[in-house]
Structures are given as structure tokens and as C-alpha cells.
Amino acid sequence: MLKLAERMGRAKPSAIMLVAEKAKKLKAEGRDIISFSIGVPNFLPGEHVYAAVRDALAKDSGQYGSNRGADALLDAFLAHIERAGFTGYTRKNVSTGIGAKHVLFNLAEALLDPGDVIVFPTPYWTSYMDIADIVGATVRTLPCPPEQNYKLTPAQLDAALPGAKVFLFNNPSNPTGMVYSPDEVAAIAQVLAKYPDLWIITDDIYHRMVFDDLGYRNFVQVRPELRDRTIFVDSLSKTYGMPGWRVGFMAGPESVAQALTNLNSNHITNIPEAVTAAAVAALTGPQDVPAQKNLEFQAKRDQVLAMLDSIPGVVCPRPQGAFYVFPDISCAFGKSHNGRKIENDVDFCNALLDAKGVACVPGSAFGEPRALRISYTCPTPQLPEGLKRFREFFAELA
């Protein structure tokens, strides 16, 4: 029997995709499905993006491009991050990839040898675990339960960092939607400053989606000395409604940006010209669509929280960003729905999907099996109906 490489034994298909696939299949069979599962923003970028692509296609050289990213794209990204408070970065500090997922994968390859320790909080975005597994890193997760608002405490981090090579932080968070306040970011940065041999990756692809005027901060803004070892990861996927266009970025030390550029030269070569044009247009064009969507998501967050608050036993820390809510639904475990026993989060999500046609992702996909994730970007008219069915399902538990 011919064998695949050992690392492929560790590469699992994304648990999020499995739920989405089941929901898609039921929909194809004619079921009325409301999807709260996949993390897509569900809006399109403005017409200026399509116009830029048409223009680029008319002039497309058909040639290979830059491994780092076209100059126009790097410059557009630099201006974009300057607006978020990252000043003094040059083209040498940045690199691009086929989405933030690819950038994160490249970072894992560039920074982690087999057995090196990577630390990140739980709940975590599913791919962190899978990517770390594939490169053979040793994962140290830090449990952040709902009782601590799904947020990492400085003491918890301090205890976990000795011997670690990389700390991976995600703010705002997928799956919890939690956002660290400027003070909380400063307190964590203070701990990070104590570990000079530690790389810090901040996956902040939702940094433009922050509600309640809370504001966004990165470690480098509160502790400039962390800049030499902090890598900021960004993406067009969520902010600009462009998940399928596959454009991701990083900004950080020159050595890291160069390493990613070298990996690109062996993996992807370059981001295609037409996609580059779309990305430049999104970053430099009118910013009213992302701003307007942010307001819409904040209102939807309120609707979801109001529904969850009305269910006795459900505990839900209040998210202040991204487009996810992550309630603790463990009060349902041990109960039954129409005679179907619910032992855990996976049973809950399967029963909810089968009985009510509502798709959510089990929390175990994110390392927290007491919860589930609701992604609330579905078309606005579907939201109240999906929430009504969710509440009905709970009421029918016995």
C-alpha cells in the first residue's frame, strides 16, 4: 500500500466546512435552510472594484508578477494599515498571500520547526490547530471559558509563555466576536514585553469590524518595542466582502516579510493581475460599504443577543466585533428533542439542523464543546426567522 506523508494524517478537513456542506445538501434536496454556519460577510464589494477588474483584464499582460505583491498593492495596503495606526512600515515590511489563511500557513512554515511551541487561546479559529498540526508544532492552548468572557488574562499568558516560540492572537475573535479593549491589549503587551525571544502573530482580519465605539488597538501601538517581532495579519475577505478573491497580507519585520515572499516564489508565484487590481480598488476606493456593513452587523448582533437572552440557561458574553456570537448552550445537554437525545454540541447542531433547518457550527470545532457559533450575516429578512426557530428548538427540549 503506497503511503502519503505522515503529516497528511494530521491534516483534517475543516469542521466548519462539514456543517456547511450538510446544510448545502439539505438545501439542494429542497429543505428550507437558514445558514448561521459559514463565516462569510454576504455582501459584494462596490462597483468600483468590478470596474477596476474589467480595466485590468483589458490591459492584462498575462505575465508572472511579483512574489511579494505588486507595488501598487503593497502601497495600497501600507496606506490602509496606516489608517489603523501602523506607521513607518515600508514595502519591505509587507508581503501578500492567497488569503489570510495562506499567510498564516506561510508564517507557520517560516517560524515553526517541528516540536516548537505555539501558544494561543481557546476558543480559537479552527485552522490554527490544523495548520500547527501540519507543520508539526507543539500546541499549548489557553482555555478562556465564557466565565472570563472568552478573553485571555495577562497572568494566564505569563504562565504559558516560558519556552514558547510563537504566540498567536486573534482580535476581534472568530468564533467569539470578543474584542480586547485598548487597556486589555496594553496589559497583554506588557506580558509579551517580558519574552524577547517570542514571535507574536496578531490575526486581526476583523479589525475594521468593531462595535460600540470600542476602538481597535494592536500591541505595536501600545508597546512600540514589540514591533521587531510582531506580525500583523490582514485580509480583504471580511471587510470588503471579498472572501473568494483570496487576498491576504502581513506587515512586520523585514526578515519575516522576505521569508514569506520566498515561500510565495515556490508556492504561488504571485497574486494574479486582475485580483491585484480588485484589491487595490477595494483598499483605495470609497470606504462606505465596509462602514455601512459594520453598522448593519452591530444591529444584527443586538438582535441575536436579545433572542439568546430570552432563553433561560444560555450564557452569552457580549461580542463587540466581527459577525459571530458564541453562546454556551450546555444547559441543553442531557435533554431530548422529539425523543432525540442531545449529549453534546455536535448532537445539538445536528438536531437543530434536521428539525428546524438552522445550521450552526458546533463549538468543539473551535476547542469549546459547550458552545456553538452563530454567524449572523445571512440576508436580513432571514435573521428573525432563523432566531425564532432557534428559540422554538430550545423551548421544545424536554
Ligand X SMILES: Cc1ncc(COP(=O)(O)O)c(C=O)c1O
Which pairing describes strands 138-143 and 358-359: parallel, antiparallel, or unpaired?
unpaired
Of residues 248 and 357, the one with the C-beta less far from ligand X? 248
Neighbours of 378 (CB within 10 A): 21
Which pairing describes strands 336-337 and 324-325: parallel, antiparallel, or unpaired?
unpaired
CB of 3 to ligand X, least distance (A): 30
Candidate list 66, 67, 96, 170; residue touching ligand X; CB under 6 A: 170
Q: Is residue 80 a contact point for ligand X (CB under 6 A)?
A: no
**Which stretches of the chain are assigned E, i.e. beta strand?**
34-35, 94-97, 117-122, 138-143, 166-170, 199-203, 230-235, 248-251, 324-325, 336-337, 340-341, 358-359, 361-362, 372-375
Q: Is residue 99 a contact point for ligand X (CB under 6 A)?
A: yes
> C-alpha grid cell for residue 33?
435552510
Residue identified by cell 448593519 is 296
CB of 318 to ligand X, least distance (A): 19
Q: Is residue 230 a contact point for ligand X (CB under 6 A)?
A: no
Considering CB under 6 A, how many residues would be counted as binding ligand X? 13
> C-alpha grid cell for residue 39?
463565516
Of residues 247 and 311, the one with the C-beta less far from ligand X? 247
Candidate list 154, 243, 272, 369; residue touching ligand X; CB under 6 A: 243
Q: Is residue 237 a contact point for ligand X (CB under 6 A)?
A: yes
Give, as ranges, the residues between 250 and 279 that touch ligand X (CB under 6 A).
none
From 97-105, 108-116, 218-226, 309-317, span contacting ligand X (CB under 6 A)? 97-105
Q: Which of 357, 366, 282 is closest to 41 using CA atoms?
A: 282
From 85-93, 94-102, 307-315, 327-335, span contacting ligand X (CB under 6 A)? 94-102
Pair 357, 26: CB distance under 8 Å: yes
Candidate list 23, 37, 39, 290; residue touching ligand X; CB under 6 A: 39
CB of 367 to ligand X, least distance (A): 13
Q: Is residue 248 a contact point for ligand X (CB under 6 A)?
A: yes
Residue identified by cell 492567497 is 98
What is the rounded CA–CA span in Å between residue 68 and residue 150? 35
CA atoms within 13 A on the CB side of 102: 24
Candidate list 235, 270, 364, 375; residue touching ligand X; CB under 6 A: 235
> C-alpha grid cell for residue 80?
490602509
Of residues 321 and 357, the one with the C-beta less far from ligand X? 321
Pair 11, 133: CB distance under 8 Å: yes
User: By Cβ distance, which residue is nearest to ligand X?
Assistant: 99
Of residues 175 and 317, the one with the C-beta less far from ligand X? 175
From 47-55, 85-93, 96-104, 259-267, span contacting ligand X (CB under 6 A)? 96-104
Burial 100-121, CB ≥16 within 10 A → b, else e: bbbbbbbbbbbbbeeebbbbbb
Which pairing describes strands 372-375 and 361-362: parallel, antiparallel, or unpaired?
antiparallel
CB of 307 to ligand X, least distance (A): 23
Neighbours of 65 (CB within 10 A): 16
Q: Is residue 174 a contact point for ligand X (CB under 6 A)?
A: yes
Q: Which of 266, 267, 234 is closest to 248 using CA atoms?
A: 234
From 93-101, 270-278, 334-342, 360-368, span contacting ligand X (CB under 6 A)? 93-101
> C-alpha grid cell for residue 377?
450575516
Of residues 46 and 248, the one with the C-beta less far from ligand X? 248
Q: Is residue 101 a contact point for ligand X (CB under 6 A)?
A: yes
> C-alpha grid cell for residue 40?
462569510
Q: Is residue 205 a contact point for ligand X (CB under 6 A)?
A: yes
Binding interface with ligand X (CB under 6 A) = 39, 99-101, 125, 170, 174, 203, 205, 235, 237, 243, 248
